[in-house]
Structure 1
Amino acid sequence: MLQLLQRKPFDQITVRDICAEAKVHYATFFRHHETKESLLDAIAKDEIARLNQLAISIRNAESYEAGFEGLCAYVAEHRELWAILLNGGAGGAMREEWLRVSMEVAKGEQPINAWLPTELGTICAASLIAETLAWWVGQPEDAYSVSHIARILYRLLSTSIMAPD
């Protein structure tokens, strides 16, 4: 599916296309996934879960800046995949899943600021991170370093969402 998403939008991809690309029988696909959407959901959930866990564990151990550095390093290591997931035909579904997971994570977190409703802060933060990463992986690979993007994310979030009242 990821290779197909490089060539055409998700809504134009069929299960037969996926099977042909993967060289698997049509029935084999349905033993593992009910629909092409469920395959995309599985890919998105797996990647977002990895990214969120990495960022949370690093942030808890060190700082928000370290969390962004780890998050950006992971995306850089898997740049092609994230470029497809964020900028390919699955971008909308990917962002929806990112927001869903972020909302779940936010339920267990203390609000950063009293002035900003947690739900709105989560929406803004998830959107800001997703859109920044989507922009970054769309740039030439050597245009911005991991550290540069991590600093951008930290500054964007710390001056807007994490800013004191």
Structure 2
Amino acid sequence: MSNNPLKTDPRIKRTLSLIRDALISLMDEKGFDQLTVQDITERAEINRATFYRHYQDKYDLLNKIVDEILQQFQTAFELPPGFEAHQFIQDNDTPPDSFIRQFEQVAEHARFYKVMLGPNGLPGFSLRMEMIIRDSLNRRSMIAQPFDSQVGIPRDIIVRYVASAHLGIIIYWLENDMSYSPKYMATQLIRLHGFGSTHFFKDNG
């Protein structure tokens, strides 16, 4: 049996969800610097003792939320263990499972991403997202073509260009209220990758 109460007590899960929802809504309204723990507890309708039972302060709360969501974002985009070059797909109409998963993860936490990437969001958040994308694309490129001498454009330039475009498409989707499905967006993204880079960024992972 797990000793972690967060996994066994639905009341604690609900409390944490209320606290986190309160933080995101308040950031959306007035930014992080202007809000206080008192604001958060009033919005979540809990007492301060309950808040401090789980978080040291508002910074601890924000850091834990951001780290958790970005870890999920990274996991969604990972290739399966043992992925090899021959598994890369060859057409622009079959989106990789990992691309679809990434859009699904963003959709699941859409309010969070809209706030963090918006005018009242966390400085540097978009760069953290882009770094996750860059690292994943770089690993994919190394699987597909491990020899830099065989890549027509320096690898770091390709990865930087494609990662920036990749993040830009995610932001566009959020700004337009996710009017397209995750699979549709994943398909368009892989087509854009095909236009802007070589095939080694496309996979079925």
Pairwise same-fold verdict (TM > 0.5): yes
Larger of the two Rg values belongs to structure: 2
1:49 and 2:87 matched: no
Give the letter for the 1:86 counterpart. L
Distance 1:114 1:49 in 2: 32
Rate the CA distance shift 1:151–1:107 in 2: closer, same or farther, 3 A.
Answer: closer
Q: Label 1:147 to 1:126 Cα distance change in 2 as closer, same or farther (>3 A).
A: same
Q: In structure 1, what is the equivalent of residue 181 of structure 2? A: 145
Q: CA deviation at 1:51?
A: 1.6
Greater mean alpha carbon deviation, residues 17-26 or residues 49-58: 17-26
Q: Does the alignment pair 1:72 with 2:95?
A: no
- Residue 173 of structure 2 corresponds to which residue in structure 1? 136
Aligned to 1:85: 116
Check conservation: 2:37, 2:57, Cα contact below 8 A.
no
Deviation at 1:128, TM superposition (A): 2.4
Percentage of pairs with the same residue:
17
Q: 1:129 to 1:41 in 2, by over 3 A?
A: farther
Aligned-residue offset at 1:8: 2.4
What's the CA shift string for 1:144-165, capped at 9, x where partnerless?
122221122212223224468x
C-alpha displacement of 1:123: 3.6
Kept in 2, the 8 Å contact 1:87–1:138? The answer is: no
For this pair of structures, how many residues does the alignment match?
A: 161
TM-score by structure 1 length? Answer: 0.71
Q: Are the structure 2 counterparts of residues 18 and 131 from structure 1 closer, same or farther at C-alpha, using a change threshold of 3 Å?
A: farther
CA contact (8 A) 1:15 1:26 kept: no
**Could you tell me how far apart the structure 2 residues matched to 1:41 and 1:125 are?**
27
* Aligned-pair CA distance for 1:135: 1.6
Aligned residue runs from structure 1 range 13-162, under 5 A? 13-22=35-44, 23-25=46-48, 28-29=51-52, 32-33=55-56, 35-36=58-59, 38-57=60-79, 60=83, 65-87=96-118, 89-90=120-121, 92-102=123-133, 110=142, 113=151, 115-118=153-156, 120-141=157-178, 143-162=179-198
- Structure 1: 5+ residue runs without aligned partners? none
- Specify the alignment match of 1:5 in structure 2: 27
Which structure 2 segments of 5+ residues have no match?
Answer: 1-22, 90-94, 146-150, 201-205
Q: What per-residue deviation string (whole Å, max 9, x for no partner) do you get for residues 3-36 of structure 1?
A: 2122223333334433433334179449624552
Shift of 1:102: 4.4
How far 1:127 sits from its partner (Å)?
Answer: 2.8
Cα drift, residue 129 of structure 1: 2.5
Cα distance in 2 for partners of 1:33, 1:116 equals 45
User: What TM-score do the two structures reach when normalised by structure 2?
Assistant: 0.60
